[in-house]
Amino acid sequence: MTEPLHHDVSGSGPVLLVMPGGAGHPMGLGPLTERLAARFTVVTYDPLGLAHGRLGLPVPEQRVADWSEGAHRVLEAVLPAGGTAYVLGTSSGGIAALDLLARHPGRLAHVVAHEPPCVTVLPDGAERRAELIGQLEGHGRPPAEGEAATPFGVFLARVLGPFTSHLPSFTAPPGGLTLAAGVDSRGQVLHRTATSLAERLGGAFLEFPGGHLGTVDHPVAFADLLTDTLRSSARTSA
């Protein structure tokens, strides 16, 4: 049986699919999506339904392909026949956005992947992945019985491992893709990962305000730069 889709829709205009990071819970993204909803039909995807009543329920280990195929089903539900959508994916959502582009490029007008933590693309990726996991788990991994109690617990227990080991497809079309990193992330591993992916995938690279959580810390400036980027891509492709 097909799992139900969990997403929220706001605003009007071209469709912009937002794929949050972490465990996919859109917490903290309200100011960003509110700003974007003045220009786009914002579709915020919640792959595990954590913001839709499923927080606290058991969660199996996650697969990137499941998130991207779920996102494709959401787009099929909201897009008109033959229509295309913009996509913003942040952190783990950025990894799923890259996979969505590789699998369904015909439904996407432009993808912006902000600091996707697929660090295995780096020459020293194994070491950097172990370092990243150690840093995040150092924030306090919950005991097994509490892993599903918070979005961060779900992320550490069920998303972090498989997503950081994911190697993106390098057959994605060169057009319609921007890899992004926060200006405050310069010198850090996820900034380096984004620039490496841009080179390998043939996409553009762009710095956004703030760091890894720029969508939360600088929502207005982030939304405005994203809007300019997507509008510029539309003019270029016209």
Residues 238 and 23: their CA atoms lie apart, in Å, by: 36
Instruction: With beta carbons less than 8 A apart as the criterion, state whether 19 and 45 touch.
Output: yes
Closest CA to 118 of 162, 70, 53: 162
Residues 78 and 163: their CA atoms lie apart, in Å, by: 27
Q: Look at residue 4 in the predicted model and tell me its pLDDT.
A: 79
CATH 3.40.50.300 fits 7-230, yes or no: no
DSSP H or E segment with residue 191: helix 189-201
pTM: 0.95
Residues 120-158: tens digit of each pLDDT: 999 999 999 999 999 988 776 666 656 778 999 999 999
Side chain identity, residue 86: Y
pLDDT at 15 over 70: yes
At 220, is the secondary structure helix, strand, or coil? Answer: helix
Indicate the domain borders of the chain. 7-230
At 219, is the secondary structure helix, strand, or coil? Answer: helix
Cα 4 from chain centre: 20
What are the helix and strand counts (H, E) for the chain?
Answer: 9, 7
